[in-house]
């Protein structure tokens, strides 16, 4: 008898804590949604990384030269053999630069991701939307771009050799 009473109490406790018994009309607090300007944050982090910025500048220069060579190759006159050799050399340099650019882009995006997650956790934000194509209108008070930039600065300061 005593055993049955304990089992009954345990069953009631388990059932009452089960989510299926909650009212479906109960609604929690609304989600917190904010936005940021990812392009501005990316540019900020890119400009702070000298190596990534150098690769980006070299890549832009090489791409411009490749377009010039393509135009020169389309013209009937000129030394096409020398132009083709230069174009092939430039293509291999571009491939190497694109690989390094992709590497730095991954580092930068990981840094931004960490800062966004830290900011969202501190501010108890459920969703962060990019202001780019997805967002048509939002009030300035919902913009967390500055908060993310401050978090990136804090992360950089903690990683600095002087901080250790």
DSSP letter for each residue of 27-68: --PPPPEEEE-HHHHHHHHHHH-HHHHHHHHHHHHHHHHHHH
Neighbours of 131 (CB within 10 A): 16
Confirm if 128 and 36 have CB atoms less than 8 A apart.
yes
**Average pLDDT of every residue of the chain:** 84
- The Cα-based distances of 155 to 113, 116, 118, 158 in angstroms read 12, 11, 10, 5
> What is the predicted pLDDT for the residue at 82?
85
For the segment 95-124, what is each residue's pLDDT rounded down to a tens digit?
Answer: 999 999 999 999 999 999 999 999 999 999
pLDDT above 70: residue 12:
no
From the list 118, 146, 159, 117, the residue with the least C-alpha distance to 36 is: 146
Domain encompassing residue 133: 2-163
- Nearest-angstrom CA–CA distance, 55 and 71: 24
Confidence tier at 6 by pLDDT (50, 70, 90): very low
Q: What total number of domains does the chain contain?
A: 1
Where is pLDDT greater, at 79 or 36? 36
Region 136-140: mean pLDDT is: 85
Mean pLDDT of 59-83: 86
What's 145's domain CATH number?
Answer: 3.30.910.20
């Amino acid at each position: 008898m005593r055993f049955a009473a304990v089992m009954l109490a345990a069953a009631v406790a388990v059932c009452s804590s089960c989510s299926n018994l909650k009212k479906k009309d109960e609604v929690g607090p609304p989600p917190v949604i904010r936005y940021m300007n990812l392009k501005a944050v990316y540019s900020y982090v890119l400009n702070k990384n000298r190596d990534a910025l150098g690769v980006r500048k070299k890549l832009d220069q090489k791409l411009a030269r490749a377009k010039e060579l393509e135009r020169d190759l389309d013209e009937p006159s000129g030394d096409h053999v020398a132009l083709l050799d230069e174009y092939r050399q430039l293509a291999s340099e571009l491939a190497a630069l694109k690989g390094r650019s992709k590497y730095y882009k991954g580092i930068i995006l990981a840094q931004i991701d960490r800062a966004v997650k830290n900011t969202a956790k501190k501010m108890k934000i459920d969703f962060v939307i990019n202001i780019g194509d997805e967002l048509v209108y939002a009030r300035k008070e919902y913009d967390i771009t500055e908060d993310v930039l401050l978090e990136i600065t804090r992360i950089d300061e903690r990683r600095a050799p002087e901080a250790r």
